[in-house]
Structure 1
Amino acid sequence: MFDFLKKKNEAASSAEAVETPRDFTNSIGMEFLYIDAGEFIMGRNPRYNEGGDVESPEHPVKLNGFWISKYPVTQEQYFKLTRVNPSFFKNDKVEEENSRRHPVEQVSWFDAKAYVELINRYEGKTRFYALPTEAQWEYVAKAGGNTRFTFGDSEAQLDDYAIYEYTANMRTAAVGSRQPNRLGIYDLLGNVWEWCEDDFFANYNGAPNDGSPRIGGAEAESFKVRRGGSYKTGYMCLRSSFRGYSRPDYASNETGLRLVINGDPFK
C-alpha cells in the first residue's frame, strides 16, 4: 500500500549515501580522507617469514570509520599553530625554494601530543583530532589487503611510493612527492616516521581488537610506537606491519606526525 513511500525513502537514502563527503579540509588547509569501518588482520603475515615476534601474533581487528590526513603534518601547518618550526630540513637544506611542504620533523611524541591539543583548541573541539592508533595506521597501510607493502609485495616498486634510503638524497622531500596508496594516502612509506598514540609492547599478546590504543598496564614500557620508516631507512622498515618505537621525548630529523579525526567534521 505504501510502496511508493518506501521507494521514495530508499531513493533519498541512496542519494544521501552518494553525496556523503569523502574528503575534508580544515581551517589550516589540512586535507583528510574518510576511511570506512572494517576488519583486517594486524601483524606480520607468516607467509613472508619476516618481522619476528614483535609483529606477532597476527590477530583480527575491527575498526569504526575515521578520517586520516592525506599527508604528514607539514612545516607550514605546524608553524601556523605553534609559531615555531623545529625542523632540520629547511632553508638551504632542501632542494625546493622553501620547505613549507616538507614534513615537520624533530618532533617528539610529547610535541606531537601538544600539537594535537593545540589544533583541537584552535578549532574549538574536544578530543576530535588525535594521533592515529597503531591499528588505525596499519589498517590504512594495508589498504584492504595483507601485503608486505601498502601497494603490494615487491620492493622493486618502492621507488614509486617511498622517500627512503635509495630515493631520498639523505633528506626529506615535499609531501606528496610519490604515489599514494590505494586509499589515496601519501607518504605512509618513508620521508618521516609517524608517531602513534600507543605505548610499545614487545608483541601483540593482549592487544585490543577494536582499534583502540594500547596504553599502560603491567607490561607497558616507557616507549611509544612510531610507524612508516623515514628517508634514512631501508626497505624492511617500510613494510606495512613493521613497528618502530622510541622514548616519548625522542626527537630527530627522521620523525614527524600525521593526524586522524575520530568524529564527524561536518557537524
Structure 2
Amino acid sequence: MLDFFKKKTEETPLSETAVETPRDFTNSIGMEFLYIDGGEFTMGRNPQYNEGGDVESPAHSVKLSGFWISKYPVTQEQYFKLTRVNPSYFKNDKVEEESSRRHPVEQVSWFDAKAFVELLNRYEGKTRFYALPTESQWEYAVKAGGNTRFTFGDSEAMLDDYAIYEYSSNGRTAVVDSKTPNRLGIYGLLGNVWEWCEDDFFANYNNAPSDGSPRIGGAEGESFKVRRGGSYKTGYLCLRSAFRGYSRPDLTANDIGFRLVINGDPLK
C-alpha cells in the first residue's frame, strides 16, 4: 500500500497529497473499521499558529505502526448489543430521530469504555485486540498526513461541514454520520462527543513516547485520562487537531463517548 502518511513538506498543501482508500473490516456487532498505514508525523501544536500553549508542547516526532480505527464513535446500538444497557442521555424522546441507535453512546466513564473493550475482546475470543486509541494514534488519524489546525485544513469557516459543536448542534448529539468524514473516511473526529484515549494526562509532552504507545504512570498522570475531539457543547478551539482535554476516569457526562482501534489484523 502507498504510505500516504509520509511527512509532507511545508509547501505541499494537504489537499494535494495522495490518498489511498484504506482497507475496511466490520466486526461481529457491526462496528466498521478502516486501516490506517503506519508512518511518522509531528504531534503537538503547530508553531505557525499562536494557540495551544505548553499543554500541546513540545511538538515532537512520533512514528507509529499501522492500525485499524473505528469509522464512527461507538453507537448506542453497539454498546447495548454487548452490555444490554444504554446509559446515554440523548436517546428516545430526547432526540428528534425516530430511533437513537445511531447516536454516539455517552455518559460512559473511561472505566466503562475499558470494560466495553474487555467485554468485546472476550466476546470475540481475542486478547488485547480491541483497545482505546492512544493519544498519538488519535492525533495521527485526525491530522491525516498533514499538520493543519483541523482535520480538513486551517480555516474554521468549514467547521459546520465537519463538526457537531456549539454553533451547529442544537444543544444535543447527532447521528454519527451526519457530517463530512475526514479525507481518510473517518467520521465524528470533531465534536459530537469527546473521545476517551488510553493515556494518562500529563501537562506537556516532555518525555512522551515516540512510538505511538500510550503514556501511562507516574504521579502526575495518576488522576486524569485524556479525551480528544471536543463535543456538541464546545467552541471551535476545542476542535483543533492538537487540542487536549482531560477528566477523571470515573467522570460520566452526556458529551463524552469513545471509539476503538484494533492493534492486530482482523483479516487473518
Q: TM-score, normalised by structure 2?
A: 0.91
Q: Match for residue 220 of structure 2?
A: 219
Judge conservation of contact 1:171–1:231 (CA < 8 Å) in 2: yes
* Distance of 1:45 and 1:108 partners within structure 2: 30
Q: Secondary structure at the match of 1:219?
A: helix
Gapped runs of 5+ residues in structure 2? 1-20
What residue identity is the alignment partner of 2:24?
D
| Runs of 4+ residues deviating >6 angstroms | none
Q: Which has a greater percent of helix?
A: 1
* Distance of 2:89 and 2:22 partners within structure 1: 36
| Matching of residue 77 in structure 1 with residue 72 in structure 2 | no
| Matching of residue 123 in structure 1 with residue 124 in structure 2 | yes
Gapped runs of 5+ residues in structure 1? 1-19
Q: Match for residue 96 of structure 2?
A: 95
Q: Match for residue 8 of structure 1?
A: none
| Matching of residue 55 in structure 1 with residue 56 in structure 2 | yes
Identity within the alignment, %: 86
1:92-143 deviations in Å (ceiling 9; x for gaps): 1111001000000000000000000000001000000000000000000000
Q: TM-score, normalised by structure 1?
A: 0.92
Judge conservation of contact 2:152–2:182 (CA < 8 Å) in 1: yes
Q: Match for residue 193 of structure 2?
A: 192
Q: Secondary structure at the match of 1:79?
A: helix
Displacement of 1:266: 1.4
* Distance of 1:59 and 1:170 partners within structure 2: 36
Displacement of 1:21: 7.5
Q: Match for residue 261 of structure 2?
A: 260
Judge conservation of contact 2:22–2:36 (CA < 8 Å) in 1: no
Judge conservation of contact 1:201–1:221 (CA < 8 Å) in 2: no
Answer with 1 or 2: which has the greater Rg: 1
CA gap of 1:150–1:21, structure 2 versus 1, over 3 A, is closer
Judge conservation of contact 1:164–1:230 (CA < 8 Å) in 2: yes
* Distance of 1:97 and 1:167 partners within structure 2: 20
| Aligned pairs for 1:142-221 within 5 A | 142-221=143-222
* Distance of 2:173 and 2:22 partners within structure 1: 32
What residue identity is the alignment partner of 1:253?
N
Q: Match for residue 241 of structure 2?
A: 240
| Matching of residue 136 in structure 1 with residue 137 in structure 2 | yes
* Distance of 1:135 and 1:63 partners within structure 2: 8
What residue identity is the alignment partner of 2:184?
L
What residue identity is the alignment partner of 1:198?
D
